[in-house]
Chains A and B, each alone.
Chain A
């Protein structure tokens, strides 16, 4: 025990010494490739590794762990060699997924190419051994070509060696061999006619000559596919006539053959020439390996950041190539490219955490001892709904990754990676040491050709057991480059708060986010207009809209809260379009007539405007719940296409069985139609004079349209661009936008983010959720989580608001909540505004009293003080400590009640002392 501790201590000391003292010493084998005021980029020509040195601290970040030779104790052989790789690629052969990497697939074969570029370096890889070893060995070769070959060799000694492995013969007219050679089954006279074969090889006896000729004829026979040697015809060997030919001896020793291969491989003589010669002689040519891939990667330093780019146009994969073995044209679709999987990886001794943007953000402790659980694996911007419909509900579907970022914190330093391009095709993967190797790592894996497994089974009782599946691919690969920006954080910024604030600054610099100027804490109310209920009408069950909050009642509710003293009220109005919450396709913009007239809605808007209440009517463009005859929705044209070539749709799920409910699928709109739909909607919406809109799905759902024609296909990255275009257009028309969920690319256009995740999802590998997303937006864009009256944790809603600075948000109705009973909207089980008024005002009042003075401020610090006890520090120093435990806790001398909080003004002692706990 003691020895092990001692060992650990010594090891830790050595590591520390290496890191702090001898960064330069560790960079042996590296050469400086680029430098600016803040960073130095080092490159290792032999291994194509890079290293980045942060000048201010001397910290070095490696693309591949520098201590991998000693610290890797788990992986062996090829698996260990993978630790040297900068890219992993994966492709499919039929249903089988095969991975390769830049090291074992390229660098060790010397198939890479280094090109210096401005401020950095570019490496081009050819992954997959191009030629088999034997391909370098000609079996039959003409004298001229052989001499040419010999000229590639360096020394006479080598030339002589190579020459010794071959025997020479000439097919001459009129030559008669004195030994009178005959070969069983071959009529030599008929075959050669006037010609004879002169074998000029020292120490060759008659049997050797006979064997040589026999081997040659046999090779031709095999290539031509004749049944017997006798089948070979004169024209088959015509090329050898009047020509001196060399043929590889049949009795070359194994070790000589290895030397020969090595010599020829190193000489630079191309196997292409071998093929050429073989074809002339009608001998089976060597085949080029078909499974070869080309990928390039560029490293550039930009200020204090490292920018890594994988240019999409330089990616080459075998597409529709002829496979001589099967005589078919084949494609090996390159589906995934994982970029720098080991960048900044932490070894099995380090302390710190991996940050992943799951929901609000989450931490995975380094070396947490949870090797047995599943690695973290999550698509950026959520699932692609068009890829394939999900049959069974799972809790994993509840939250998604909204931000394309990830990072690792080692003891005193951290990096944050921001995926700038191609992120819509990215999956964030995080592993701790002990899962596949001895390193804790997090990286982005990109879906270069999106694909999905499609099942062809049917649920019938008899043929149920058939479970055929087939892989379906997007018809063309990703068009945009993959770009990842690595930022390096040190000292006090080396933690998740630092990462979030760095990302905030990134958004501000890049998109010009404006500082929030809210005069007071807002209160967000979502009002429900109408809902649908199934009722019998003349004996037939029909969807009948029930008014929940009419236009005039909406004003009553608003008045009520204004009367209670709320000065900054924001109203989101949902279910005002025809059909209620799940409204008809909105191109026609029909109001739900049961809620009131057009004039009443206009009045509502102008009255609220007069009272300084912001009104955001909500509309859902992406989910096509219902269509009518004249709303210009044509199912086969306007629905996104899934990878299985059928229309894409969303499922609803049974609460108890978790299975999809058949017959209640919701088609999703093709993003290609978005511009037209929004245009039509906005034409009519202008009449209402409401300068604001709220979107249900637009900020959250991102999916492709996998049309089969390349011109019609919209991949996920393009879909992202199209959504951004639409938001930009709306913004240019001075629309104020409230977005739901809100993926990163929509943030520049959001005036309010609603339904933002306040928690992380419960993956077993995650150790703690953190409010990364909130810290990143705080002070710039107001945000709200889930409605407080329908949250799963009613008791702690207030604490969550204080901890994260989210806007109090309630989903309300004018009618009694009973209206939802026995309808599909019975999940809105507690919405009457009078039922909740007191609670809302209590929560709002507390938020105002605590956060009122710092409402527009950023969060500058956040940390966990004890289990389920968190401290948030706002810019001006105000600190809130919240306790989510159902028992009171004492933190550093302050007792915080169960489900309670404590506020510290100004400089806080508490935080200083507690700093130690946060790694």
Chain B
């Protein structure tokens, strides 16, 4: 009886508060303010690219507008569209607020009748609605899940899963459920605070069914080595294998659990199947982690750190929106993991979210809970967004032609939209318009589809021009076969010389000091390189003892290597070229060849002089440079070839690049170590390793020195500015 009275009093209080609230609360004219954020997607090269605004702020719903005295740190919102209900978990006020879809207050659930006594919630953090419209409340403070009927009557109370399964939980375990989800079959999924082993599940009967999604511990090899090296005490202190911490989840139509992870590393979102395995598709340019580039704490930005996902809502078609607490941004991904768009920003302006905690959707509108201000923000999609969502849906349904039309509309609104290019390309591919498809795939930076289109295109071209190609090959073969005959007919004298004659010519050449003589010598030195790479043993010997090589020739080779790398970056075929052409800089390329080369030569010389190596610095430089000739010889033709390969033939491409590197490496080993320094194999290997370690040390010392110089510079700069300001 008393409790009923209490409820009555409470209800009237609420009514009064509501009256006062509506008197005070004025709805905002959001349409008269700027949109306080921008929308972008991340492109292939980790750059944010602006696009049309994806969602517009539609409404800000305050406690006053709902007719409530306050919303204190609300933590969850659940939209039950079928039954026209919204549930807001008003954690700070220990209650659940039930609204209809037009945001009219229906009732307040702050407790239930249990065996004749009125029990209240204590800091409830989450609510879930079953198909029968039963209400499941994660009653965090009371360590239980409360199952109520739609009428508010108690159906059951589910206590800690720990009871009866003590062995499965740590000794310190305390059941504090903060997230609850119920699927169609009545299975319950629960997250508990300070429990990192995964999602606790119960079956429809409320029987504990184990923990799923136990996160795989991700440890880098480096961390693992550290771990092995540390003492037992250190191991105990260093909690290296901190498991991931689920922050929230949402259930999709198929019963999959989309769970967000708030920890610092690893995947920020997972899609768990009933067995607890992650089946999220991650085929976008980047994994779905929110912002790809972000500031760190040293960069003095207002908000720093990577995106921290705190909640997710899944639309149909596997499209999901994730809420980032760090910057209150909302990222929407399709089922393949492509970032469709992002919008929102953190702040206190109208339409910004001061601190987001939960997200859900009504139709295509997104609703976000701002727990700092105790507000609910509603965002509505723009036409642009609707087009994209429709196009994705059509794709999933296999209606490619309609899809193409929509993507073309999207492109009219946003020429930066990579997915639209891919979408159009896909449709063109089906229509067998391969060259057009290639154009779109290239713009959309989609290499796998481009490869497919190109394969078809190449086949067609080859077929069309089969006769020309075959004729060409036949002609070349005939020419080669007839070459001696042609030569004779044309009276070309054979310039074949005996080895002795060659030797004599070379010696004669070394004597000349005029320009032509020098140029000729350079030419012959370079030409000799072709001999060296195939006959390294006597080749390098000749380089060293008979001056067949020269420093100018070595420099020419180095320059050729630089040019090769520059050309690789600029002209390698699209499928194998992952470089941003806007960032190409020949000086950087030059440095990336000259610096390692110089380091190698310098460090090697320094060690070998101590280790009775027979080579001089000059000889080391020459031998190393000649060893790099295969890189030039293989890569230059490969650039051309790469333009005619498809991804499946990539193995051939990568094999050749590897051969080039391996060949050069072997030449360096033989040329520098064995011939120039006259080492045995064992000593050669040892010295090579020593040189490599020495290079690492030199780089380290160089960085330290650079850092010091930077500090000195900064200090001087600071003193200077201070003097300038004070004077």
Contacts and interface: CB of A to CB of B under 8 A. Distances in A.
B584 A539 contact: yes
Contacts of B567: 539
A118 interface: no
Contacts of B291: 656-657
Contacts of A835: 412
A229 B414 CA distance: 90
B300 A391 contact: yes
Interface stretch (B23-31, B179-187, B697-705): B23-31
Contact of B295 (A458, A659, A822): A659
Interface string B333-351: 0000000000001011111
Contact of A535 (B48, B52, B581): B581
Interface in A610-669: 644-645, 654-659
Given A539-B589, A658-B301, A826 B380 contact: no
A732 interface: no
A760 B349 CA distance: 12
A761 interface: yes
A830 B52 contact: yes
Contact of B584 (A470, A541, A656, A820): A541
Nearest to A367: B24
B300 A459 contact: yes
A464 B298 contact: yes
A358 to B, nearest CB: 10
A309 to B, nearest CB: 35
Interface stretch (A99-107, A194-202, A691-699, A763-771): A763-771
Given A540-B585, A817-B411, A769 B29 contact: yes
A373 interface: yes
Contacts of B587: 540
A178 interface: no
A444 to B, nearest CB: 24
Given A399-B34, A659-B295, A659-B299, A458 B29 contact: no
Interface in A133-164: none
Interface in A472-494: 472
Contact of B302 (A541, A658, A826): A658
Contact of B31 (A399, A761, A820, A884): A884
Contact of B583 (A470, A541, A763, A768): A541
Interface stretch (B89-97, B258-266, B719-727): B719-727
A832 B412 contact: yes
A760 B33 contact: yes
B301 A864 contact: no
B582 A541 contact: yes
B231 to A, nearest CB: 30
A795 B37 contact: no
Interface stretch (B118-126, B501-509, B663-671, B707-715): B707-715
A463 B725 contact: no
Interface in B276-323: 291-295, 298-302
B586 A454 contact: no
A790 to B, nearest CB: 8
A360 B32 CA distance: 9
Interface in A831-864: 831-832, 835-836, 864
Contacts of B58: 886
B582 A534 contact: yes
A461 interface: yes
B33 A539 contact: no
B300 A768 contact: no
Nearest to A867: B27
Chain A interface size, as a band, is 35 or more
B34 A760 contact: yes
A19 B567 CA distance: 84
A793 interface: yes
A470 B725 contact: yes
Interface string B359-394: 000000000000000000000101110000000000
A821 B443 contact: yes
A766 B416 CA distance: 35
A395 B34 contact: yes
B53 A793 contact: yes
B50 interface: yes
Nearest to B414: A829
A456 B53 contact: no
Nearest to B378: A886
Chain B at the A interface: SS class: mixed
A830 B415 contact: yes
Nearest to A538: B586
Contacts of A830: 52, 412-415
B17 interface: no
Most B CB contacts (10 A, CB to CB) among A472, A540, A760, A762 go to A762
Most B CB contacts (10 A, CB to CB) among A398, A472, A656, A867 go to A656
B573 interface: no
Contact of B415 (A659, A820, A864): A820
Contacts of A440: none
Contacts of A792: 34-35, 52-53, 56
B518 interface: no
Contacts of A818: 411, 415, 443
Contacts of A793: 31, 35, 53, 56, 382
A759 interface: yes
Contacts of A827: 50
A911 interface: no
Interface string A880-911: 00001110000000000000000000000000
Interface string A758-787: 011111101111100000000000000000
Interface string A383-408: 00000000110111011000000000
Contacts of A472: 725
A512 interface: no
A361 to B, nearest CB: 9
A816 B439 CA distance: 14
Contact of A822 (B29, B582, B710): B582
Contacts of B300: 391-392, 459
A282 interface: no
B455 interface: no
A359 interface: yes
A565 interface: no
A460 B416 contact: no
Contacts of B414: 829-830
Given A644-B725, A656-B48, A769-B29, A762 B412 contact: no
Contact of B725 (A360, A456, A769): A456
A456 B721 contact: yes
B382 A795 contact: yes
B59 to A, nearest CB: 9
B595 interface: no
Interface in A803-829: 816-822, 826-827, 829
Contacts of B589: 539
A588 to B, nearest CB: 28
Interface string B185-215: 0000000000000000000000000000000
B457 to A, nearest CB: 21
A454 B725 contact: yes
Given A792-B53, A794-B383, A868 B29 contact: yes
Contact of A460 (B49, B294, B585, B714): B714
Contacts of B721: 456
Contacts of A767: 26, 28-29
Given A460-B714, A867-B29, 19 more contacts: A359-B34, A373-B348, A392-B301, A460-B710, A461-B707, A463-B711, A534-B582, A655-B48, A656-B48, A657-B301, A760-B34, A766-B350, A794-B52, A794-B384, A794-B413, A820-B415, A829-B51, A829-B414, A836-B412
22 contacts: A373-B348, A394-B347, A395-B347, A396-B349, A399-B34, A460-B714, A644-B725, A655-B40, A656-B48, A759-B34, A761-B33, A762-B33, A764-B348, A792-B52, A794-B384, A818-B443, A826-B49, A826-B415, A829-B417, A830-B415, A867-B27, A868-B30
Sorted nearest first, the 4 A-B pairs with minimum C-beta distance are A769-B32, A817-B415, A762-B349, A884-B31
